[in-house]
């Protein structure tokens, strides 16, 4: 009796972010393609050997990618939009699809494919673009080579692909006017999957991991017909590898009958997110089908509960043939950092609670060993650590439980309704119609980054750092003066991202040195770890905001990250509901806001770009999430006087579905990204009218293009058909930190002129 172990995908950034560095050097033409290939090959090779050493039986291949695995699938299936075909070199074309392509001499300017969030994670994938009558064509060289490369090293892998159902659902039609579902292309797509499976079988692939993550959404019978059709076809192929249907992020319980009818060779279930589905699976799925149990959480950094995992494993084996049982992580380890062993600075009482990708695979291997030897002593250490885990006690400053009383209505509501507040604010702020402002950050120069790093590693004094920051703020203020904006910001030079800076000044957070997780392509993030109760240790932004206000008569808009976004972009403790943690963060932000107000700041923006991303995948859970997310925002922002104006900002997600919750935030002003999803959002807002003030983004900050005054005027005119003119603000789509001053200055000047023109027109 034996069980096997599997991994569903290993992080592809490399131990020391070799991929990031390689890509950036390649894009800057500092290294040739051949060198980038060597870097990629080394990462793959390391990953394969490492997983072998860790005792993993089913090691994935084709999980490595130079940019994104969905983009790789588009290439594999020949779904390359025509506009990219002018680029001859395949690798250049590949990166052009991901990042766009400009060549001034040849007058080529191609925009990149759209990028969007991968389910409820902070990973972003590239959205394949399909034509109405798309012709697909197999281009399997990468997946075949990967398998053969590993094989030549003595490692037999299980290649990973995304199945046809999810591929089509994750893609979109290039022409947004086409209203039918992309699933209607299934008939032309299936033959390519058949050819692929045959080609894989021919080189000796025994198993393929076929991911169908879209099964995690609410079941839609019309869509499921396509799923059924696809796998009736693929499972009945004569020559093919065995298919491990891989699901994750939610329960697929409602489909289990269908799975068993379709005769899959294997099925993987995420038992971390949805343990309950195991029972159904054990009753309905034939004992001849291999069952892969997602027992170790691929989405977090905490040690697994091995005792519990072991009991699920034993229970499963008691019901079926153990040779058909696999121990696996819940999903690909893409979402977890690589190796905890590098974290030399982490306090040992926190470190002992953690497991990164490597440690998670060790846990999987340990479960197998315990199963084989029945030696339960092997679990003792894990059981003891978890039993003694007391998150709150790790934190010196235990938050007062009585904070709960603050959740009473009076702490969640502004004193007067927006209509009254806005009158008071008008008198206090004396802003013109179509007030102009920005979202917070201004270009971050190399020097700013260097000074921040120097200050962090102690090579410049607090005083010097402070002086430097003040000079940056001064310059930023005088530029805003010159440009003629109405509401100023300090520029956010002190922060590297939206969360770490805040987390460092809050209790209850720990930080890693190398805990990088891929966000997209070469971009990685290092989410902080919330291990204890969160409380405000000291002021967060007060020093910089009040300094900025002291040197100008224009109102400075204070700039904070909201509680939901801080929570969403951290690894969160698991011993209490997320809601509790979020409210603790909210309370800390509330204190900061009240202090800013006391010190004379009249406008405060609380950014919540991640509020949409936290939305549960299945609709039945939306209500609960939105309730506490809105509560947290209101707890943070509702303590101020009527005259203090609260702004919020959101971007790059489809907000239509959660508009009622956005309205419930009751921010006085919301700025929202529009240029990338113009039509969509406008139509959302015509369906539900937004009651407070709103700044539709009129400058696409992701593009080096400088919008002309006329362009901005016409966008604003469009906006004024939907929103009352006296409620429209004029601002860019998002922060300007990634742009350069020579782009930002003319663009903002055009924006200001556009606002002026509209003011004239209106009088």
Q: Smallest distance, Å, CB 79 to ligand GLN?
A: 30
Whole-number Cα distances in Å, 20 to 456, 465, 495, 522, 609: 23, 29, 21, 4, 25
What is the DSSP code string of 695-715? EEB-S-TTSS----HHHHHHH
Q: Among ligand GLN, Zn ion, none, what binds residue 441 when CB lies within 5 to 8 Å by partner kind?
A: ligand GLN
Q: Among Zn ion, ligand GLN, none, what binds residue 63 when CB lies within 5 to 8 Å by partner kind?
A: none
Q: Smallest distance, Å, CB 520 to ligand GLN?
A: 14
- 734 touching ligand GLN, by CB under 6 A: yes
Verify whether residue 124 is a known catalytic residue: no
Structure token digits, residue 123: 């990973």
Structure token digits, residue 567: 């929570």
Q: Among ligand GLN, Zn ion, none, what binds residue 448 when CB lies within 5 to 8 Å by partner kind?
A: none
Other residues' Cβ atoms within 10 Å of the Cβ of residue 552:
16
Window of 217-225, 379-387, 731-739, 740-748 that interacts with ligand GLN by CB under 6 A: 731-739
Give the residue with the Cβ less far from ligand GLN, 492 or 494. Answer: 492
Q: Among ligand GLN, Zn ion, none, what binds residue 737 when CB lies within 5 to 8 Å by partner kind?
A: ligand GLN
Window of 61-69, 505-513, 650-658, 721-729 that interacts with Zn ion by CB under 5 A: 650-658
Q: Is the dihedral of CA 114, 119, 123, 128 positive or negative?
A: negative
Window of 31-39, 193-201, 359-367, 731-739 that interacts with Zn ion by CB under 5 A: 731-739
Give backbone dihedrals phi and psi of 576, rounded to 5 degrees, phi first: -140, 160
Q: Smallest distance, Å, CB 716 to ligand GLN?
A: 21
Q: Smallest distance, Å, CB 497 to Zn ion?
A: 12
Binding ligand GLN by CB under 6 A: which of 483, 735, 747, 750?
A: 735
Q: Are strands 242-246 and 266-270 parallel, antiparallel or unpaired?
A: parallel
Interface positions, 188-227, toward Zn ion (CB under 5 A): none
Give the residue with the Cβ less far from Zn ion, 361 or 674. Answer: 674
Q: For residues 631 and 676, what is the distance between their CA atoms, to the nearest angstrom?
A: 29
320, 3 contact by CB (below 8 A): no
Give the residue with the Cβ less far from ligand GLN, 72 or 743. Answer: 743
Window of 275-283, 466-474, 648-656, 702-710 that interacts with Zn ion by CB under 5 A: 648-656
Strand partners, 559: 605
Interface positions, 611-650, toward ligand GLN (CB under 6 A): 649
Structure token digits, residue 5: 């172990």
Window of 247-255, 421-429, 551-559, 726-734 that interacts with Zn ion by CB under 5 A: 726-734
Structure token digits, residue 483: 């440009």
Binding ligand GLN by CB under 6 A: which of 304, 443, 609, 707?
A: 609
Q: Which long-range contacts (CB under 8 A, 24 or more apart) does 495-500 make?
A: 496/449, 496/452, 497/525, 498/561, 498/565, 498/569, 498/607, 498/609, 499/527, 499/528, 499/561, 499/565, 499/566, 499/569, 499/570, 500/526, 500/528
Q: Among ligand GLN, Zn ion, none, what binds residue 731 when CB lies within 5 to 8 Å by partner kind?
A: none
* Per-residue binding letters, 510-549, with ligand GLN (x by CB under 6 A): ----------------------------------------
Residues written for the chain: 763
Give the residue with the Cβ less far from Zn ion, 54 or 650. Answer: 650
Q: Among Zn ion, ligand GLN, none, what binds residue 498 when CB lies within 5 to 8 Å by partner kind?
A: ligand GLN
- 559 touching Zn ion, by CB under 5 A: no
Binding ligand GLN by CB under 6 A: which of 159, 298, 337, 440?
A: 440
Give the residue with the Cβ less far from Zn ion, 273 or 612. Answer: 612
Give backbone dihedrals phi and psi of 397, rounded to 5 degrees, phi first: -100, 90
Give the residue with the Cβ less far from ligand GLN, 440 or 515. Answer: 440
Q: Among ligand GLN, Zn ion, none, what binds residue 161 when CB lies within 5 to 8 Å by partner kind?
A: none
- 651 touching Zn ion, by CB under 5 A: yes
Structure token digits, residue 621: 């859970």
Among 152, 194, 168, 153, CA closest to 52: 153
Q: Smallest distance, Å, CB 119 to Zn ion?
A: 20
Q: Smallest distance, Å, CB 737 to ligand GLN?
A: 5
Window of 341-349, 433-441, 586-594, 742-750 that interacts with ligand GLN by CB under 6 A: 433-441
Q: Is the dihedral of CA 542, 350, 392, 565 positive or negative?
A: positive
- 592 touching ligand GLN, by CB under 6 A: no
345, 22 contact by CB (below 8 A): no
Give backbone dihedrals phi and psi of 538, rounded to 5 degrees, phi first: -155, 175
309, 386 contact by CB (below 8 A): no
Task: Measure the CA angle with vertex 747, ends 741 and 748; round to 5°.
Answer: 85
Structure token digits, residue 687: 């369906």
Among 539, 446, 563, CA closest to 493: 446
Q: Smallest distance, Å, CB 460 to ligand GLN?
A: 24
* Per-residue binding letters, 552-571, with ligand GLN (x by CB under 6 A): -------x------------
Q: Smallest distance, Å, CB 467 to ligand GLN?
A: 23
Strand partners, 354: 302
Cα distance from N-terminal residue to C-terminal residue, the chain:
84
Q: Smallest distance, Å, CB 476 to ligand GLN?
A: 12
Structure token digits, residue 399: 């938050």
Among 51, 47, 63, CA closest to 6: 51
Window of 84-92, 101-109, 341-349, 647-655 that interacts with Zn ion by CB under 5 A: 647-655
- 737 touching ligand GLN, by CB under 6 A: yes
Question: Tokens 């556009």 belong to which residue?
Answer: 754
Q: Smallest distance, Å, CB 441 to ligand GLN?
A: 3
Q: Smallest distance, Å, CB 277 to ligand GLN?
A: 35
- 79 touching Zn ion, by CB under 5 A: no
Where would I find the H helices in 339-378? 348-351, 357-373
Q: Smallest distance, Å, CB 541 to ligand GLN?
A: 11
Binding ligand GLN by CB under 6 A: which of 168, 361, 412, 439?
A: 439
Give the residue with the Cβ less far from ligand GLN, 336 or 568. Answer: 568
Q: How much is the CA Rg of the chain, to the nearest whole Å?
A: 27
Binding ligand GLN by CB under 6 A: which of 186, 651, 751, 754?
A: 651
Interface positions, 482-501, toward ligand GLN (CB under 6 A): 492, 498
Count of residues touching ligand GLN (by CB under 6 A): 13
Strands (E), 332-485: none
Whole-number Cα distances in Å, 300 to 93, 334, 394: 34, 11, 19
Strands (E), 394-553: 506-510, 517-520, 523-525, 529-536
Give the residue with the Cβ less far from ligand GLN, 248 or 633. Answer: 633
Binding ligand GLN by CB under 6 A: which of 289, 441, 518, 677?
A: 441
Whole-number Cα distances in Å, 395 to 330, 534, 603, 722: 29, 9, 33, 49
Binding Zn ion by CB under 5 A: which of 734, 744, 754, 755?
A: 734
Q: Which residues contact 169 (CB under 8 A, 6 or more apart)?
A: 182, 183, 214, 223
114: DSSP letter: P
- Residues 255, 418, 647, 702: which is the catalytic one? 702
512: left (phi over 0), alpha (psi -120 to 50) or beta: beta
Give the residue with the Cβ less far from ligand GLN, 40 or 609. Answer: 609
504, 109 contact by CB (below 8 A): no
725, 699 contact by CB (below 8 A): no
Q: Smallest distance, Å, CB 739 to ligand GLN?
A: 11
Report the catalytic residues.
702
Residues that bind ligand GLN (CB under 6 A): 439-441, 492, 498, 559, 607, 609, 649, 651, 734-735, 737
Residues that bind Zn ion (CB under 5 A): 609, 651, 734
């Amino acid at each position: 009796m034996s069980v096997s172990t599997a991994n569903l995908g290993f992080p592809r950034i490399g131990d020391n972010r070799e991929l990031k560095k390689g890509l950036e050097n390649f894009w800057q033409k500092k290294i040739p393609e051949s060198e980038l290939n060597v870097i990629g090959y080394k990462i793959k090779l390391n990953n394969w050997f490492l997983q072998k050493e860790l005792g993993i039986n089913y090691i994935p291949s084709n999980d490595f990618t130079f940019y994104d695995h969905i983009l790789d699938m588009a290439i594999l299936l020949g779904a390359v939009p025509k506009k990219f075909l002018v680029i001859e070199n395949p690798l250049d074309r590949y990166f052009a699809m991901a990042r766009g392509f400009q060549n001034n001499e040849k007058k080529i300017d191609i925009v990149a494919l759209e990028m969007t969030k991968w389910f409820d994670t902070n990973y972003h994938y590239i959205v394949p673009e399909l034509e109405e009558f798309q012709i697909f064509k197999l281009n399997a060289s990468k997946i075949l080579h990967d398998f053969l490369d590993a094989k030549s090293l003595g490692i037999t892998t299980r290649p990973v692909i995304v199945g046809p159902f999810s591929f089509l659902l994750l893609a979109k039609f290039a022409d947004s006017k086409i209203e039918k579902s992309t699933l209607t292309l299934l008939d032309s797509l299936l033959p390519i999957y058949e050819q692929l499976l045959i080609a894989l079988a021919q080189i000796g692939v025994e198993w393929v991991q076929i991911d169908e993550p879209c099964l995690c959404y609410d079941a839609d019978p019309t869509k499921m017909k396509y799923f059924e059709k696809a796998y009736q076809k693929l499972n009945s192929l004569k020559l093919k590898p065995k298919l491990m249907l891989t699901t994750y992020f939610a329960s697929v319980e409602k489909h289990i009958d269908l799975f068993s009818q379709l005769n899959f060779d294997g099925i993987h279930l995420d038992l971390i997110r949805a343990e309950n589905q195991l029972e159904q699976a054990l009753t309905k799925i034939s004992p001849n089908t291999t069952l892969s149990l997602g027992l170790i959480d691929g989405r977090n950094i905490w040690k697994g509960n091995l005792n519990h995992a072991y009991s699920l494993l034993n229970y499963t084996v008691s019901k079926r043939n153990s040779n058909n049982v696999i121990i696996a992580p819940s999903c690909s380890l893409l979402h977890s950092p690589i190796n905890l062993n590098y974290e030399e600075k982490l306090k040992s009482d926190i470190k002992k609670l953690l497991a990164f990708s490597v440690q998670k695979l060790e846990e999987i291997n340990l479960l197998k060993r315990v199963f084989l030897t029945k030696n339960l002593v092997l679990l003792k250490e894990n059981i003891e650590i978890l039993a003694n885990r007391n998150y709150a006690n790790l934190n010196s400053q235990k938050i007062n439980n009585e904070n709960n009383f603050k959740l009473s209505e009076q702490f969640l509501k502004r004193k007067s309704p927006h209509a009254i507040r806005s009158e008071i604010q008008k008198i206090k702020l004396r802003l013109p119609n179509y007030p102009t402002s920005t979202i917070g950050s201004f270009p971050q120069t190399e020097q700013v980054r260097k000074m921040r790093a120097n200050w962090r590693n102690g090579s410049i004094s607090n005083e010097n750092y402070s002086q430097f920051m003040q000079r940056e703020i001064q310059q930023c203020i005088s530029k805003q003066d010159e440009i003629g904006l109405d509401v100023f910001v300090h520029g956010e030079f002190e922060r590297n991202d939206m969360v770490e800076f805040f987390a460092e000044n809050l209790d209850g957070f720990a930080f890693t040195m190398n805990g990088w997780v891929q966000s997209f392509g070469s971009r990685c993030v290092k989410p902080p770890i919330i291990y204890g109760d969160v409380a405000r240790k000291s002021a967060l932004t007060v020093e910089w905001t009040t300094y900025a206000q002291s040197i100008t008569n224009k109102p400075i808009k204070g700039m904070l990250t909201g509680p939901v976004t801080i929570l969403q972009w951290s690894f969160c403790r698991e011993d209490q509901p997320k809601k509790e943690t979020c409210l603790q963060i909210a309370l800390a932000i509330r204190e900061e806001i009240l202090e800013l107000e006391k010190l004379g700041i009249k406008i405060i923006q609380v950014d919540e770009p991640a509020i949409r991303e936290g939305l549960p995948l299945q609709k039945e859970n939306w209500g609960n999430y939105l309730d506490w997310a809105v509560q947290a925002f209101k707890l943070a922002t509702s303590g101020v006087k009527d005259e203090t104006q609260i702004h919020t900002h959101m971007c790059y997600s489809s907000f239509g579905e959660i508009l009622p919750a956005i309205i419930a935030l009751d921010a006085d002003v919301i700025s929202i990204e529009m240029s990338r999803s113009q039509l969509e959002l406008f139509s959302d807002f015509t369906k539900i009218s937004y009651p407070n003030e709103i700044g539709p983004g009129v400058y696409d900050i992701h593009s080096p293009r400088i919008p002309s005054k006329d362009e901005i005027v016409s966008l604003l005119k469009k906006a004024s058909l939907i929103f009352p003119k006296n409620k429209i603000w004029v601002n860019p789509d998002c922060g300007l930190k990634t742009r350069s001053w020579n782009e930002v200055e003319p663009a903002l000047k055009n924006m200001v002129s556009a606002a002026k023109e509209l003011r004239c027109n209106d009088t």
